[in-house]
Amino acid sequence: MTVHLVGAGPGDSDLLTLRAARLLEIADVVVHDRLVDPSVLALVPPDVELIDVGKRPGHSHSQELINELLITLGRQHACVVRLKGGDPFIFGRGGEELAALRDAGVRCEVVPGVTSALSGPLAAGIPLTHRGVSHGVTVVTGHTRDGQGVDFRRLANSQLSLVVLMGVTFRASIAAQLTAGGLDRETPVAVIERAWTRDQRVVRGILSGLGDLDIDSPAIIVIGPAAQLDLTALGSLAEVASA
């Protein structure tokens, strides 16, 4: 009896790992989040129970209840798949579920997924690091456990790409704090909604206008010089790198 903590990747089922796809074929029950793409759930055999524990406005399963559910299912079934969008251990609370299962003596296995933090920008043609443009990447959540905003003033660095997950609600505050920390108001910004899905949408702008962009969750916010790059536009990389 094993609970498999599986990363579903950022969107389309083609981005699943082979191990994740195989586990979905043999699972007894699949416990999934709201952001798992329908194309991924379509791989689950029709006779397998699907349990949706996704968090939605006005309707949310507490992490404690999810942990208890996984423990119970792990003691009842040979193969339980806990399916989470992206990679479960990049702001996916995978660590909390892993700890709860191990504390309860339930066998568990980790199957990493392609994280949306790094793959999402590529859906918009944005390489997060590029010689002469960006020398590194910082990935940060847009809010903390208590729902308050993160202090972004310390993250203002014009040589890095800043990737913000779950930051749509706090985007105006994020922009104001980064500006207060010294980041240029004209710094490029890109927002990728529902990356790697049929509903993908990319919105670009500058830091000073981030709070006014018409964007919806789920979305990945990229801030920094690399945000203006687009691998689908010929010449854009060379032009920005030489600017």
Tell me the β-bridge partners of 91.
Answer: none
DSSP 8-state class, residue 30: E
Query: Strand 2-7 vs strand 79-84: parallel, antiparallel, or unpaired?
Result: parallel
Number of CB atoms found within 10 A of residue 7's CB: 27
Could you tell me if 128 and 163 are in contact, meaning their C-beta atoms sit under 8 angstroms apart?
A: yes
- Of 215, 29, 5, nearest in space to 107 by CA: 5
Catalytic site residues? 33, 55
Question: At 181, is the secondary structure helix, strand, or coil?
Answer: coil
Could you tell me if 130 and 107 are in contact, meaning their C-beta atoms sit under 8 angstroms apart?
A: no
DSSP 8-state class, residue 18: H
Could you tell me if 207 and 178 are in contact, meaning their C-beta atoms sit under 8 angstroms apart?
A: yes
Structure tokens at 20: 């994740």
